Amino acid sequence: MVAPVPRIAYFGPRGTFTEQAARGFGADLDPRETIPAALGAARTGDAELACVPVENSVEGAVPATMDALAEGTPLVVVAETVLAVRFSLLVRPGGGPVRTVASHPHALAQVRYWLAANLPDAVAVAATSTAAAAVAVQRGEHDAAVTAPVAAEHYPLEVAATDLADVRDAKTRFLLLRKPGPLPEPTGSDRTSVVVTAPDRVGVLSDVLLELALRGVNLTRIESRPTKGPLGEYRFYIDFDGHVAEPRVGDALAALRRHCPETRFLGSYPKAVREDVVAQNADFVAAAEWVATIREGRGA
Ligand SMILES: O=C(O)C(=O)Cc1ccccc1
């Protein structure tokens, strides 16, 4: 019997950059209108997996993803992928002058100079996604949409321009998530993600970073977002090299949890771009074995 193909709920509608990313992870794709809806499908079991954007090299973090991962039923990342993002401008065939240009805020922010130079009189309007903007153009609600190239395959619109970009080689990172379960095997090129709520005390963030540094764990990203509670209360999203199965990473994670009891594990998963981490595990393994022999009364 052939194993069923896992369904991936993704940030849609059809024709988003996220669809392009999700295609690399599987074939049974299920578009959802918003990021929380895509993640919600994985939470309820409507889909086994969810694919959402998390950060862009030009605009930074995708807040809807960050917030949704810190709250609600936990989900863990099992894979990531990085796409080069190039934008197309779609219009209605035979449409008139372009007075409004719709797109996802991350896309608009990446073509700001292009729009100023090429459509100086057009007003930019935020849409829930690049493909939602294409739908709005098809319905006559807006005159043009800044989209992923793949959107032209899905909507009866004309490609007015391709390769729009203020910054060449912009990249977006996407995550594949599911309910907590067996972790992906360590590959030697892994990333671990956590979100911590820092208690209000002097030096807590410095302590957290020191715990990583002391164990030779390389920090790859740190972002803060308000908890939406008291003004000035923040969560920190921390990514670092390594897999929780590695002793030094497991140790570091335990230390973070001691400093910040509200630490949520967001996954240990292979990096999209392989970067072999200089192995620093041998001394941790040897030291842990030495302690084990002492505990068992076999060493000193
Ligand atoms: O709206 C989309 O197509 C998305 O997948 C989000 C997004 C927007 C802009 C750049 C990369 C991803």
Same domain for 246 and 211 = yes
Distance between Cα 11 and ligand 1 center (Å): 9
Looking at residue 92, what is its pLDDT?
A: 97
- What's the DSSP call for residue 49? E
Report the nearest-CA residue for atom 4 of ligand 1. Answer: 17
Distance between Cα 134 and ligand 1 center (Å): 12
**CA 147 – CA 129 distance, rounded (Å):** 9
Question: Which two structure tokens, joined as six digits, stand for 223?
Answer: 């972002």
Just list the catalytic residues.
172, 174
Share of the chain above pLDDT 70, in %: 98
- Which residue, chain included where needed, has tokens 């030495």? 290
Per the structure, how many domains does the chain have? Answer: 3
**CA 83 – CA 210 distance, rounded (Å):** 32
> What's the mean pLDDT in 81-99?
94
Q: What is the CATH number of the domain that holds 146?
A: 3.40.190.10
Among 147, 182, 217, the domain-final residue is 182
- The range of the structural domain enclosing residue 227 comes to 183-299
Looking at residue 30, what is its pLDDT?
A: 97
Ligand 1 site, CB within 6 A: 11, 16-18, 53, 56, 85, 104, 106-107, 129-131, 148, 172
Say if strands 100-103 and 144-147 run parallel, antiparallel, or are unpaired: parallel
Kindly report, residue by residue over 115-148, the tens digit of the pLDDT. 999 999 999 999 999 999 999 999 999 999 999 9
> What's the mean pLDDT in 48-66?
96
pTM (2 d.p.): 0.92
Same domain for 248 and 236 = yes
Atom of ligand 1 nearest to the CA of 129: 1
Report the nearest-CA residue for atom 12 of ligand 1. Answer: 17
Same domain for 276 and 231 = yes
Atom of ligand 1 nearest to the CA of 15: 3
pLDDT class for 102, splitting at 50, 70, 90? very high
Q: State which of 14, 34, 51, 172 you would mutate to test the pocket of ligand 1, scoring each by most atoms of that ligand within 8 A of its C-beta.
A: 172
Kindly report, residue by residue over 36-56, the tens digit of the pLDDT. 999 999 999 999 999 999 999
Query: What is the DSSP secondary-structure string of 117-142?
Result: HH-TTPEEEE-SSHHHHHHHHHTTS-
Please check the confidence at residue 278 and state whether its pLDDT lies above 80: no
Q: Is residue 274 part of a domain?
A: yes
Same domain for 178 and 46 = yes
Kindly report, residue by residue over 156-205, the tens digit of the pLDDT. 999 999 999 899 889 999 999 999 999 999 999 999 999 999 888 899 99
Q: What is the CATH number of the domain that holds 238?
A: 3.30.70.260
Among 162, 197, 222, the domain-final residue is 162
In contact, 15 and 58? CB cutoff 8 Å = no
Ramachandran angles phi, psi of 233, nearest 5°: -95, 125
Q: Is residue 144 part of a domain?
A: yes
Among 121, 154, 182, the domain-final residue is 182
Question: Which two structure tokens, joined as six digits, stand for 55?
Answer: 């950060």
Q: In this predicted complex, what is the ipTM? A: 0.96
Looking at residue 163, what is its pLDDT?
A: 94
Distance from the Cα of residue 273 to its chain's centroid: 14
- On average, the pLDDT of the chain sits at 94
Label residue 176 left, alpha or beta by phi (over 0 means left) and psi (-120 to 50 means alpha): beta
